Structure 1
Amino acid sequence: MTTPVALVTGASSGIGEATALKLQSLGYTVYAAARRVSRMQSLVTAGIHVLPMDVTDDDSIQAGIQQIIARSGRIDVLVNNAGYGSYGAVEDVSVDEARAQFDVNVFGAVRLTQLALPHMRKQRSGTIVNITSMGGKIHTPLGAWYHGTKFALEAISDCLRLEVEPFGINVVVIEPGGIKTEWAGIAADKLRETSGQGAYASQANTMAEAMVGEASRKRQSPPQLIADTIGKAVSARRPKTRYAVGFGAKPMIFMRRLLSDRAFDGFIRMATGISRKAA
């Protein structure tokens, strides 16, 4: 039988690294892509193919897909994991930064999907796995652009699922909750840099502490949980369309469905410690 082939983006650490190793353990030939190739020696040692790839650079994306097809002749699973969290008040975040957030979290994933789909259609099989977040279903203070990207990728995934199902291709959304990765620290630093001074300083500093404080770190789930869920999804004959996993994901999404907008606003203020009144 032909060995299945998987491409995982954002694979230099965290969820991407764990997923690359998980898929290899399931018998996949795995290509792990990231900008920081120097951090991927452990994957090379494990026998995983490492690709330098910047998902905001079309030439880089095309070169990566071409290399996979030239080497392996097919692509069975695409895990769109590359992404980051850009937090800051809507008033403070520059339009250039907002575009950069969408370029990485949305347009990079969509462009890779566009390039992978012709090969999957030819095979009459394949699975696109889009890593969104519980943040694709809920909202938090000072995260408008980040949440916007995740809401967008959720909607794109739903439309894509309808389009490609006739070709035997699955589209799966993974909605992680709090996970022990670099994400929270990077998002908190960006938040302090963007809105840590000025009119939104009180909210920004409170929210940043909620992201990286000891209480939050203790409750975060390991990246392996997400990797195992992805492994389960790609191994299923008919996977679920969505998997909400990791600390807080299911309860937070449930609360958003249950509560009115104003009631959920209050719930989030209480959870993050942000006051209703300006400082």
Structure 2
Amino acid sequence: MNILITGANSGFGTLIIADLVKAGHRVAGSVRDPEGRNAEAAAALRNLGVEVVEIDVTDDASVEAGVAKADKTLGGIDVLINNAGVGAHGLQENFSAEDFRRLFDINVFGVQRMIRAVLPQMRSRGSGLILNVSSLLGRVVLPFYGPYNATKWAVEALSENYRVELSQFGVDVAVIEPGGFPTTFFGNLIYPSSADRDPGYGEMAAAPKAALEGFEGFLAANPQQTPQLVADAVVDVIGKAPGARPFRTEVDRVGMGDAIRPYNDQLDQVTRGLFANFGIADMLELNTSKPEAA
């Protein structure tokens, strides 16, 4: 299949791409500034046979141009993987509206920009897959990840709506929900632009830093929580037949995934019950028979 993935130059992206290429897929990977600060990463991707396209997911024009280039180079886009994202850590009250805006622009609006850019040709063809990399923190809240939690909860809702609005056009939607993994995620965190509210929190003001250090130590002591699990999950979902893919896939080996899986299963039952009551249960089933749009 022809696959476009964002955030190709680091974190889960490089592992996912290596697995996709190994599985025989044609891949275009988006990189910001591939001829400048990310030139080395772009060269490594090209050595794997990956088509490098420049995309800044926070910029409409960049997204449109990059998707158009990937579409032309690959000869169509069968799968979009929205992998680009950034984390945040700190006391939620310390994050300004601008801090939130910056995070949402990448993690949520960026996903929407990418999806809108690929959907017309997917709908007209009557097939395609949108695969959004969310997080288990898009299902449950942990302290000090507030703005990040909010963006991933938004991605989950975005995915839920696209799933049902696109099903009859043959376009599939799926979500990968990783737990915490030792990647570049922790080195690229967005912190509050100000700590002016710290005095009001007393001793708790030091809690975010201690919690982050503790979690990084926890990951170091649990080598089974390897990022390769996420790449394996992505390739597995893509490899399944349209209509047979799970909507949500939890990826975790340190306890969060096992706790959240029943929650996801229960939500699925609730959703199916409500859709049946409203007479729209067919919207939860992917139409694999024919295109619905010209």
How has the CA–CA distance of structure 1 residues 117 and 244 changed in structure 2, closer, same or farther, with 3 Å as cutoff? same
Deviation at 1:151, TM superposition (A): 0.5
Aligned partner letter, 2:137: G
Given that 2:95 and 2:194 are in contact with CA atoms closer than 8 Å, whether structure 1 keeps it comes out as no
What letter is aligned with 2:253?
F
Secondary structure at 2:245's aligned position in 1? Answer: coil
Q: CA deviation at 1:104?
A: 0.4
User: Is residue 6–residue 30 contact of structure 2 (8 Å, CA) maintained in 1?
Assistant: yes
2:249 is aligned with 1:247: no
Q: Distance in 1 between matches of 2:196 and 2:229?
A: 32
- Maintained 8 Å contact 1:192/1:204: no
Specify the SS of the correspondent of 1:163.
Answer: helix
Match of 1:218 in 2: 221
User: Where does residue 150 of structure 1 map in the other structure?
Assistant: 152
User: Structure 2 counterpart of 1:90, which letter?
Assistant: Q
- 1:58 is aligned, of 49, 55, 60, to 60
* Structure 1 residue 218 displacement after superposition: 2.8
Which one of the candidate residues 19, 23, 32 is aligned to 1:22? 19
How far off its partner does 1:90 sit?
A: 2.3
Matches within 5 A, 1:107-118: 107-118=109-120
What secondary structure sits across from 2:27 in the alignment?
A: strand
* C-alpha distance in structure 2 between counterparts of 1:195 and 1:247, whole Å: 37
**Cα distance per residue 1:151-171 (max 9 Å; x no partner):** 010011011100111111111
Cα 1:55–1:7 change in 2 (3 A) is same
In structure 1, what residue type is equivalent to 2:226? P
How much does 1:143 deviate? 1.4
The aligned amino acid for 2:260 is I
Per the TM alignment, residue 15 of structure 1 is displaced from its structure 2 partner at its CA by 0.7
Cα separation, partners in 2 of 1:201 and 1:132, compared to 1, 3 Å = same
TM-score by length of 1: 0.83
Change (3 A) 1:31 1:254: closer
Q: Superposition pairs for residues 191-230 of structure 1, below 5 Å?
A: 198=199, 199=201, 200-213=204-217, 215-219=218-222, 221-230=225-234
Shift of 1:235: 1.0
**Deviation per residue, 1:175-201 (Å, 9 max, x gap):** 0012120112333x7369858954342
Q: How many pairs align?
A: 252
1:191/1:210 Cα in 2 relative to 1: closer, same or farther (>3 Å)?
farther
1:10–1:82: 8 Å Cα contact kept in structure 2?
yes
CA contact (8 A) 2:94 2:197 kept: no
**Relative to structure 1, is the Cα distance of residues 162 and 101 closer, same or farther in structure 2, using a 3 angstrom cutoff?**
same
- TM-score norm. by structure 2 comes to 0.79
- State the Cα deviation string for residues 46-89 of structure 1 (Å, max 9, x = none): 11011121110111101111102222331001000100111222
- Name the SS for the 2:56 alignment partner: coil
Distance 1:165 1:210 in 2: 43
- Separation in 1, partners of 2:208, 2:147: 15
Letter in 1 for 2:206: S
Gaps of 5+ in 1: 258-279
List gaps (5 residues or longer) in structure 2. Answer: 265-294
1:170 is aligned to 172
Cα offset, 1:219, TM superposition: 2.0
Cα distance between partner residues in 2 of 1:16 and 1:209: 24
Aligned AA (2:248): R
Give the 3-state SS of the residue equivalent to 2:80 in structure 1. Answer: strand
Q: Which residue of 2 aligns with 1:275?
A: none
Work out the CA distance in 2 between the residues paired with 1:191 and 1:255: 34
Counterparts in 2 of 1:256 and 1:233: CA distance versus 1, 3 Å: closer
The amino acid across from 1:69 in the alignment is: D
Q: Percent identity?
A: 34
Amino acid across the alignment from 1:253 = I
Q: Secondary structure at the match of 1:91?
A: helix
Contact 2:182 2:227 in 1 (8 A): yes
Give secondary structure in 2 for the equivalent of 1:21: helix
Secondary structure of the 2:115 match is helix
Kept in 1, the 8 Å contact 2:28–2:74? The answer is no
